[in-house]
Amino acid sequence: MPKHQFQITVEPQYLPAQSQPEQHLYGFSYTITVVNVGDVAAQLIARHWIIRDARGHVEEVKGLGVVGQQPLLKPGESFRYTSGCRLRTPNGTMQGSYFCVGEDATRFDAEIPLFVLEAYASPMPGDGTPRVLH
């Protein structure tokens, strides 16, 4: 196991109450859990997001911390937060990374895996059942 490592899981959700499909605005939330699975305490310093809508429009978002915080996680500790975004299409993707610093001053990036933002679940080809995203 790497000495410096954060494990990241994402739970996206469509927000109908914060959407206006007739105006091509779709609201989404995503809940992220960051777990320090490394051997050294480390702090999440900054975020970098790449957000793509279904038309191929790309937006990059960079900033310090997450939801106004820069959590310091000891080995085995986790941090969970919810944030959101709006798209001009009912579907899109997000991915990115967190810039982190270990208590030993080692800098590292923790990759945020690509996840799908989907306002309306579409049937899987051939089986007629709705898709469920986890």
Residue 129 CA neighbour count, 13 Å, CB half: 4
Which of 55, 49, 58, 29 minimizes the C-alpha distance to 111? 49
What tens digit of pLDDT does each residue of 8-38 get? 999 999 999 999 999 999 999 999 999 999 9
The string of pLDDT tens digits covering residues 117-133 is 999 865 444 444 444 44
| Residues 6 or more apart whose Cβ sits within 8 Å of residue 126 | none
Question: How many other CB atoms sit within 10 Å of the CB of residue 74?
Answer: 11
7 strand-pairing partners: 35
pTM as predicted? 0.86
